[in-house]
Structure 1
Amino acid sequence: MPNNFNQQIIEEFRANAGRVGGPFEGGRLLLLTTTGARTGTRHTTPLGYLPDGERMLIIASAGGAPTHPAWYHNLLANPRVTVEDGIFTYPAQATVLKGRERDHLFARAVQADPGWADYQARAGRVIPVIALTPLGGGPPAGPAGDFLTAIHDAFRRELTLIRGELTASGPNLGAQLRVNCLTLCQGLHHHHLGENGGLFSSLEKQHPELAPALQRLRQEHEAIARLLTRLQTLISGEGTDPGTLLAEVDRLTAELEAHLDDEEQHLVPILNAMTT
C-alpha cells in the first residue's frame, strides 16, 4: 500500500479508537511500529491481525508480493515492537513462527479468509507468520477510572467484532472464530477475577458506602461467568449451529453491557477522584 494511503489509515485509526472505514471497516486492525533495520527510524504500519490467546498473529503477505514487506525485515533486526490496538499502546516481542506451528496457524488463517491462500499462491515465497506477545508493564499514567473504562471498551469492541465474524461465518464455525471467542471468554474471566480479588476489596475498605453496589457487581460477575461457561461449551462442541452461538453472544453482550455501565456509573468517579 502506498505510504500516503497508510498514513490516512493510521490517522483515522488513532482518531477513532481503532475504528476505520473503507476496506478495513469491521475488521481486525492494529498499528505496528518497528525500528528500521538500517536507519533506526521508527515506522508505523497498519496490519490485520488474528487473536491467539494472549498473543496476536500478523502475516507478512505484502498483498502477495514476491518480497517480504519492509516491516518484516525491521522486526527481524529489532524484534521489540510497539503495538496500538485502538484502546491501548504497549511494547511487544515479535517472534517469527517456524515449521509446523507456522503451517498450522497459516492454515487456520486461510480457513477464516481464503484471501491468504491467494496471496501465498502469488508470492512465490513462504509467507511468514509472526506472533506478537505483549510485554509486562503497569497501567498507563492517568486516572484509574479512565483506565477501567478503556478496558471495558476493549471488551465491548471485541464483542462487536465477534458478532460480525459470526454473522459472516456461514454454516460452519472455523477454528479461528472459535479461538476468537475463547480468547474473549478467558479475558473476561481473568478481568472479573482480578476485580473480585483486588479492586473491589480495596474499594470496600476505603469506601464502605460502596458495599451494596460491590455486592451486586459480584453477583453480576457470577451471572456472566455462567454465560461464559455456556458459550465456551458451545464453542468447543462439534456441529454447533452458528445461529445458536450468535444468540448466546447477543445474550452475553446485553448482560455484559448492562454490567459494565453499572460498574462505570458507581466506580469510575471514585477511582478518578482517588488518582487525581
Structure 2
Amino acid sequence: MPNDFNQQIIDEFRANHGAVGGYFEGARLLLLTTTGARTGAPHTTPLGYLPDGAERVLVIASAGGSSRHPAWYHNLRANPQVTVESGAFTYPARAVVLAGEERDQAFARAVETEPGWAAYQEKAGRVIPVVALYEIEQDGPPNIRAGSLGEAIKVIHDGFRRELALIRKEMADGTALGAQLRVNCLTFCHGLHYHHTAEDMGMFPVLADRHPEAAPVLARLREEHERIAELVEELRAAVSAGSDAGSAHAEVERLATELEEHLTYEEEELIPLLSAPLETP
C-alpha cells in the first residue's frame, strides 16, 4: 500500500533535485528503489544516508526503531541490484549488507553524528542492519534530471553547495572532529576533485572548440580549479587523524568562500553557452 507521507517527500525531492523542506530539511537524503521480493514491482523509499568515501554510501535499516526490518531491506536482500537517486544523479547500485566489525564501526559513526540511531537500536531489540550501496559504473554520460547541459551544471553545483553547507553546520555545532565528520569531508573532497577533473578533461575542451571566444573564461576556470585543488588538499590534511576541529573548520570556511565564488562565476559564464536542450537517443 503506498505511503502518502513518503510519496510527498519523493515528489518534492525529485522536483527540487534533492532539496526538501519540513522535518527533513537539511538532511542527507536519497531515494532508493528496490524490487519487491514477492511482487517484483519497483518500490521507492526516501532514506537518510551517510557518506562513505568515493565508492559507496551507507543506509541504515532502522524502520524508526521497529522490531521488524523495513520492507526495502527485505527487497534488497532478495535482489541486491537497486537504483539510487542522489538529487543530482540517478544510478544503478549494488547493495551489500555490512557484517561484524565493519557494520559495528559504521553504526558507531552514525551514532556519533546522531544519537537517535542508538535510541532506535535500543528500541528495536534487533541488530539494525547497515547497508552499503556501491555505484555500478555505466557507459556514457551520467544520468542527471535536467533538460540541458546548462541546467545540469546548476543541479550539480547546488548538490555541492548543500553538502558543503551541511559540513559547515556540523563543524560549527561540534567541539570535536568525529570519525563520520572526517569521512564527510573526505568524501566531499573526492567528489569535488572528480567533478573538476571531468570538466577540465571533458566539457572545457568541447566548449573551447565550439566557442573560441570563451578561451579567457575557460583559462580562468582552470586556474580556479588549481587553486581549489590546493584548498582541498589542505582540508584533507586538516581532517587527518590527530588534527583539531578548529583547524579543520578554518579550512572548510576558506574552501567554502572560494568555491562559491568559482561556482557562481562558472554558472554566469557557461550556462548561456550550454542552454541548448540535451540530445535524447
Aligned partner of 1:174 in structure 2 is: 178
Superposed CA offset, 1:157-205 (max 9, x none): 111121222222x211111011001111111112212222232223223
RMSD: 2.0
Q: 1:124 to 1:135 in 2, by over 3 A?
A: same
In the alignment, the residues of structure 2 paired with residue 165 and residue 23 of structure 1 have an alpha-carbon distance, to the nearest angstrom, of 18
Contact 2:93-2:136 at 8 Å conserved across structures:
yes
- The answer to whether 1:238 aligns with 2:242 is yes
Pick the aligned partner of 2:150 from 127, 145, 153: 145
Aligned partner of 2:258 in structure 1 is: 255
TM-score relative to the length of structure 2: 0.89
Q: Secondary structure at the match of 2:132?
A: strand
In the alignment, the residues of structure 2 paired with residue 171 and residue 93 of structure 1 have an alpha-carbon distance, to the nearest angstrom, of 36
Contact 2:171-2:245 at 8 Å conserved across structures:
no
- The answer to whether 1:76 aligns with 2:49 is no
Aligned partner of 1:63 in structure 2 is: 64
In the alignment, the residues of structure 2 paired with residue 209 and residue 239 of structure 1 have an alpha-carbon distance, to the nearest angstrom, of 45
Q: Secondary structure at the match of 2:275?
A: helix
Q: State percent identity of aligned pairs.
A: 63
- The answer to whether 1:136 aligns with 2:137 is yes
Aligned partner of 2:163 in structure 1 is: 158
Q: CA deviation at 1:230?
A: 1.5
Aligned partner of 1:22 in structure 2 is: 22
In the alignment, the residues of structure 2 paired with residue 253 and residue 55 of structure 1 have an alpha-carbon distance, to the nearest angstrom, of 24
Gaps of 5+ in 2: none
Aligned partner of 2:105 in structure 1 is: 104
More deviation, 180-189/24-33: 24-33
Superposed CA offset, 1:46-89 (max 9, x none): 11100001311000011111111111001111111122222222
Letter in 2 for 1:226: E
Letter in 1 for 2:97: V
TM-score relative to the length of structure 1: 0.91
Q: Secondary structure at the match of 2:239?
A: helix
Contact 2:17-2:155 at 8 Å conserved across structures:
no
In the alignment, the residues of structure 2 paired with residue 8 and residue 16 of structure 1 have an alpha-carbon distance, to the nearest angstrom, of 12
In the alignment, the residues of structure 2 paired with residue 47 and residue 88 of structure 1 have an alpha-carbon distance, to the nearest angstrom, of 15
In the alignment, the residues of structure 1 paired with residue 244 and residue 143 of structure 2 have an alpha-carbon distance, to the nearest angstrom, of 40
In the alignment, the residues of structure 2 paired with residue 21 and residue 201 of structure 1 have an alpha-carbon distance, to the nearest angstrom, of 38
Q: Secondary structure at the match of 2:83?
A: strand
Letter in 2 for 1:253: A
Pick the aligned partner of 2:267 from 258, 261, 264: 264
Q: CA deviation at 1:216?
A: 0.8
Aligned partner of 2:221 in structure 1 is: 217
How many residues are aligned here? 273
In the alignment, the residues of structure 2 paired with residue 86 and residue 191 of structure 1 have an alpha-carbon distance, to the nearest angstrom, of 16
Contact 1:140-1:147 at 8 Å conserved across structures:
no
Contact 1:148-1:268 at 8 Å conserved across structures:
yes
Letter in 2 for 1:24: F
Q: CA deviation at 1:239?
A: 4.3
In the alignment, the residues of structure 1 paired with residue 112 and residue 126 of structure 2 have an alpha-carbon distance, to the nearest angstrom, of 20
Aligned partner of 2:188 in structure 1 is: 184
Q: Secondary structure at the match of 1:236?
A: coil
More deviation, 143-152/257-266: 143-152
Contact 1:231-1:245 at 8 Å conserved across structures:
yes
Q: 1:206 to 1:3 in 2, by over 3 A?
A: closer
In the alignment, the residues of structure 2 paired with residue 117 and residue 179 of structure 1 have an alpha-carbon distance, to the nearest angstrom, of 20
Letter in 2 for 1:144: L
| Equivalent residues in 2 for 1:187-202, closer than 5 Å | 187-202=191-206
In the alignment, the residues of structure 2 paired with residue 115 and residue 182 of structure 1 have an alpha-carbon distance, to the nearest angstrom, of 24
